[in-house]
Amino acid sequence: MLRLGAHMSVAGGLEKAFERAAQVESDAVQIFTSNQRQWKGREVTDEMVAAFTAAQGETDIKPVVSHNSYLVNLASPKDDLWEKSINGQIQELERCEKLGIPFVVAHPGAHTGSGREAGIERIVQALDRIHGDLPGYEVVTLLETTAGQGTTIGGQFEDLAAIISQVKEPERVGVCLDTCHIFVAGYDIRDPESYAETMGQFDEHVGIEWLKAMHFNDSKGELGSNRDRHDYIGQGEIGAEGFRSFMNDERLDGLPALLETDKSEDLHEDREAIELLRSLVA
């Protein structure tokens, strides 16, 4: 069975994410290790690592997934932004390696006019640089499927396949599949037949073995709209039935599936969504 969870705030300390995740009976959790809208990253101290490790040890919440900064664009043709993005990703991987977080989700980036092939080449070069600078690291970068808006890369499964096939150390990358993103990028998942077709395409172009995590989001946008607007499970264009196939796909057993929708202070939205998803298991 999938390990369900949500993105949780780390206000008050990184370790607080486990307390919040436990409130909604999560199996897994996603966090930001640093401010996602700033280049200057948080320094992780030994004391922070100890608190984080202790808090996780008191729960069965695993894996922890981090999401990198929204500012990072490894596909950028602009050298200054590209270098800042590489440095930003390195800092995120360093924090996660220190904290024992196995996965960092990263948007592949946007080519901003240089073209898809040039953007993919830029991403591959960036990842090779990063891996060369951090030899022996266990943390894996998960390239997220995107909504296909503008010049973003990752709206087609072939984009991710091209990146994975070209990096020198492919074992250090994987894929995070976002249900909202693939739906608005044109991949239907609303019924068993369309689900089988979409996952068949993913397996053909990328390979199921590269799928390491998922973002479970319903969609405010229609199929193929390229409109990246998350909605609560069962309240959007995908609908609750669109998640039944995911919840009963044995190939996905053990993978984290994480909610990324707005929530109230009492977190009832996440709790209700997780209950709904578990009710879909045959």
Distances (CA, A) of 165 to 4, 25, 120: 29, 37, 11
Report the alpha-carbon distance of residue 115 to residue 206 in Å, rounded.
21
Mean pLDDT computed over every residue of the chain: 97
Assess contact for 274 and 20: CB atoms under 8 A.
no
Identity (one letter) of the amino acid at 102? P
191-250 pLDDT per residue, tens: 999 999 999 999 999 999 999 999 999 999 999 999 999 999 999 999 999 999 999 999
Over residues 137-151, the mean pLDDT reads 98
CATH of 3-279, one of 3.40.30.10, 1.20.5.440, 3.20.20.150, 3.40.50.970: 3.20.20.150
Cis, bond preceding 63 (omega within 30 deg of 0): yes
| Nearest CA-CA partner of 85 in 122, 45, 30 | 122
For residue 93, what pLDDT is reported?
A: 98
pLDDT at 38: 82
Give the per-residue pLDDT at 260: 98
Q: Where are the domains of the chain?
A: 3-279
Please name the residue ranges forming H helices in the chain. Answer: 16-23, 46-57, 79-99, 116-133, 157-166, 179-184, 192-205, 241-247, 268-279
Q: Residue 124: is its pLDDT beyond 90?
A: yes
Binned at pLDDT 50, 70 and 90, residue 168 comes out as very high
Q: What is the pLDDT of residue 87?
A: 97
Q: 14 pLDDT exceeds 90?
A: yes
Query: How many helices and strands (H and E) does the chain possess?
Result: 9, 10
Active site positions, annotated: 37, 67, 70, 107, 144, 178, 181, 215, 228, 230, 260
DSSP single-letter state for residue 25: T
pLDDT digits (tens, 9 = 90+) for 19-67: 999 999 999 999 999 988 788 888 999 999 999 999 999 999 999 999 9
